[in-house]
Amino acid sequence: MAPCEHAFVSVRGSPYARFQRALETGNLTLIRGAAAELPRVSLEDALRVCLVIREREPQAFDRAARRWLSRYAGVPGATLDQLAVAVAAFQLMRKQPELALELLEEIAP
């Protein structure tokens, strides 16, 4: 590898590291771009994306929540009761995000 290629890779970092940095900025354009480089976004990280969407693009929050809930419903071992808790948590998320996150942590896979 040529020296300048090595420097370029070091500055950019891994795709997941870029995704994590993008999440920290709260910039949805960066988040979406970095997520597109990943083979898969974990449910935990997808929840973090939902939180940013809730703050930055509230009109897109319902869609993001439905997508997360759809993925959660496919988790092996997830029960209907747990899915109901997740739905309730997302309904609470606009007004009581801390309580919503507590509920979601209780059912985390």
Cα separation, 31 vs 66, whole angstroms: 19
For residue 5, pLDDT beyond 70: no
Give the pLDDT of residue 108: 83
CB atoms under 10 Å from CB of 109, counted, come to: 11
State the average pLDDT for the chain: 89
pTM over 0.85: no
Q: Which residues contact 104 (CB under 8 A, 6 or more apart)?
A: 47, 85, 86, 89
Domain-by-domain residue ranges, the chain? 1-41, 42-109
In this prediction, residues 40-57 reach a mean pLDDT of 96
Q: Which residues contact 19 (CB under 8 A, 6 or more apart)?
A: 31, 34, 35, 37, 38, 41, 45
